[in-house]
């Protein structure tokens, strides 16, 4: 069968040989980020993985401290980032379909224009990141696709979800206090009405 003329935008192929060859490089960047967190910035550095295909990393990132990670326009489809500390991380334009962010600390993280369709954000913290006395930067998910995402018992307090696609997502038990939802698509989102009242 031919795919000529078919719209394959958004379709994924298996990771390329070049992406697979970069596993050790990306793993070392992640270790340096963990070291940066562990030493209060005295050693290591925040990882920059912009545009990378991170799928070959598999389970290597689960539970790591990756604060200030930059993964703009990266491919993280299906990765397990559960329990990760990702405060202030930048995932703008990234493909995070089906990613697990269960119990992750995402305070102040940026997901502007990212694709989180069918992602698991259960019990994740998506609140503001304190920057000093009376200052914080909110988690920003403006223009993000959260279609059919699982966000049970997550904390979105003061998060920016303007123009986000929340259709079919499950917010049962979530906290949505002071969240900004202007222009968001919310049809068939479960638990959202209750979450907005918490």
Q: Could you read off the pLDDT of 46-97 as tens digits, one per residue? A: 999 999 999 999 999 999 999 999 999 999 999 999 999 999 999 999 999 9
**Model pTM?**
0.91
Per 3-state DSSP, the chain is made up of helix, strand and coil in percentages (nearest 5) of 15, 15, 70
Banded pLDDT at 31 (limits 50, 70, 90): very high
* Backbone CA torsion sign across 55, 57, 59, 60: negative
> Which residue in this structure is represented by tokens 């123009």?
163
Q: Is the pLDDT of residue 10 over 90?
A: no
pLDDT on residue 16: 86
- Please state the separation of Cα 137 from the chain's center in Å: 16
Whose CA is closest to 67, among 127, 108, 27?
108
* Lookup: tokens for 83: 């329990």
> Which residue in this structure is represented by tokens 């489809």?
77
- H/E segment holding residue 38: helix 23-38
Banded pLDDT at 131 (limits 50, 70, 90): confident
Whose CA is closest to 195, among 163, 161, 109?
161
pLDDT on residue 193: 75
**pLDDT tens for each residue of 145-177:** 999 999 999 999 999 999 999 999 999 999 999
Mean residue pLDDT across the chain: 93
Banded pLDDT at 2 (limits 50, 70, 90): low
Banded pLDDT at 134 (limits 50, 70, 90): confident
Q: Is the pLDDT of residue 189 over 60?
A: yes
pLDDT on residue 132: 84
pLDDT on residue 121: 98
């Amino acid at each position: 069968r031919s795919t000529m003329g078919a719209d394959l935008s958004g379709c994924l192929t298996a990771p390329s040989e070049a992406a697979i060859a970069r596993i050790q490089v990306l793993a070392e960047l992640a270790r340096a980020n963990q070291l940066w967190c562990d030493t209060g910035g005295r050693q290591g550095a925040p990882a920059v993985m912009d545009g990378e295909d991170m799928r070959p990393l598999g389970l290597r990132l689960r539970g790591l401290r990756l604060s200030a990670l930059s993964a703009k326009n990266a491919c993280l489809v299906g990765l397990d980032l559960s329990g990760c500390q990702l405060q202030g991380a930048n995932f703008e334009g990234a493909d995070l379909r089906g990613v697990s962010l269960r119990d992750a600390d995402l305070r102040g993280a940026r997901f502007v224009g990212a694709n989180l369709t069918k992602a698991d954000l259960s019990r994740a913290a998506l609140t503001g990141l304190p920057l000093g006395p009376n200052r914080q930067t909110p988690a920003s998910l403006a223009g993000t696709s959260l279609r059919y995402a699982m966000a049970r018992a997550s904390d979105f307090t003061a998060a920016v979800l303007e123009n986000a696609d929340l259709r079919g997502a499950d917010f049962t038990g979530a906290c949505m206090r002071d969240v900004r939802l202007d222009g968001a698509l919310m049809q068939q989102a479960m638990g959202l009405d209750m979450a907005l009242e918490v």
